[in-house]
């Protein structure tokens, strides 16, 4: 008889909490185990090899804690590690477990919303350099014109609660102006970093009214719900008591303070060392 456990949700830091929130609203009956590798964040500027190693360490830690299904709620990890984990690690070491990312469901959703077929992707430097979104969109929506832009200041602004200061607003507005200046026909922008939805109210104020902003939380939640419907064998491996547990590689006190402030909810985590 297979061992049941929670659904694992991994992020390099705090951004994945925005995805977890939407998943829990969509699938409240399931148990979740969130792991943030905050001590080694940000991942955005690190090499493919380093991100692959870090992500695999995190996935293994979640497997060891009973997770048969893990969501990489991190665009950088999804871009630089997911494919190799799925192809090289799981078939040999964990054929009964699954790891899913955020890029494919996000690209599929973009094509449904744009009318002009000109879209923007805002992300970290690592995600942009990986070119993962252009590659995936070329498969599912080859007619889209894709404009990408890295926003290296956004994550530190969010994690240090400086995004609504005059300086923070300046950097955010400057990045928006840069991507819109590349292509005035852009009518849909994907926030391809799970931190960015925290800025959603600001972005609506700063962007033209004809530009739609897509956050990944709801997209990933809908995609996961559909996946579980198609794969009842995975449902059997997931416990359903409506609980959530948090792990962080950073000081639990620091994680609790920042995570609670960002999500406007009390979050209590335990420390975990990855190796």
Helix (H, G, I), strand (E, B) or coil at 235: helix
Catalytic: which of 67, 151, 193, 238?
193
Query: Residue 193 catalytic?
Result: yes
CA atoms within 13 A on the CB side of 71: 31
| Spatial separation of the C-alpha atoms in residues 157 and 105, rounded to whole Å | 27
Q: H/E element holding 214? A: strand 212-214
In DSSP terms, which residues pair with 78 in a beta bridge?
none
Catalytic: which of 67, 74, 151, 238?
74
Query: Residue 238 catalytic?
Result: no
Q: H/E element holding 246? A: strand 244-248
DSSP state of 88: I
DSSP state of 198: G
Q: Where are the alpha helices (DSSP H) in 44-188?
A: 48-64, 75-80, 82-84, 90-93, 103-113, 125-130, 132-140, 154-159, 166-182
| Angle between helix 132-140 and 103-113 (nearest 10) | 60
Q: Of 122, 124, 62, 119, give the one whose Cα is nearest residue 94.
A: 62
CA atoms within 13 A on the CB side of 170: 3
**Catalytic residue set:** 74, 193
């Amino acid at each position: 008889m297979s061992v049941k456990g929670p659904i694992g949700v991994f992020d390099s830091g705090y951004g994945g909490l925005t995805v977890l929130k939407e998943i829990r609203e969509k699938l409240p009956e399931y148990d979740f185990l969130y792991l943030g590798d905050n001590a080694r964040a940000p991942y955005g500027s690190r090499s493919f090899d380093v991100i692959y190693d870090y992500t695999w360490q995190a996935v293994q830690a979640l497997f060891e804690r009973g997770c048969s299904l893990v969501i990489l709620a991190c665009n950088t990890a999804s871009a630089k590690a997911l494919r190799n984990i799925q192809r090289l690690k799981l078939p040999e070491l964990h054929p009964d477990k699954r790891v899913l990312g955020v890029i494919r469901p996000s690209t599929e959703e973009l094509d449904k919303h744009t009318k002009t077929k000109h879209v923007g992707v805002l992300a970290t430097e690592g995600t942009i350099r990986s070119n993962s979104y252009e590659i995936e969109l070329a498969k599912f929506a080859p007619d889209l014109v894709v404009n990408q832009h890295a926003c290296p200041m956004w994550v530190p602004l969010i994690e240090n609660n400086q995004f609504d200061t005059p300086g923070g607003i300046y950097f955010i507005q400057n990045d928006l102006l840069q991507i819109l200046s590349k292509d005035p026909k852009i009518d849909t922008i994907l926030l391809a970093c799970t931190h960015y939805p925290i800025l959603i109210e600001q972005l609506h104020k700063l962007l033209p009214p004809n530009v739609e902003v897509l956050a990944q939380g709801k997209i990933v939640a809908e995609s996961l719900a559909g996946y579980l419907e198609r794969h009842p064998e995975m449902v059997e491996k997931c416990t359903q008591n409506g609980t959530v547990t948090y792990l962080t590689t950073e000081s639990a006190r620091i994680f609790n303070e920042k995570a609670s402030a960002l999500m406007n909810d009390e979050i209590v985590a335990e420390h975990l060392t990855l190796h």
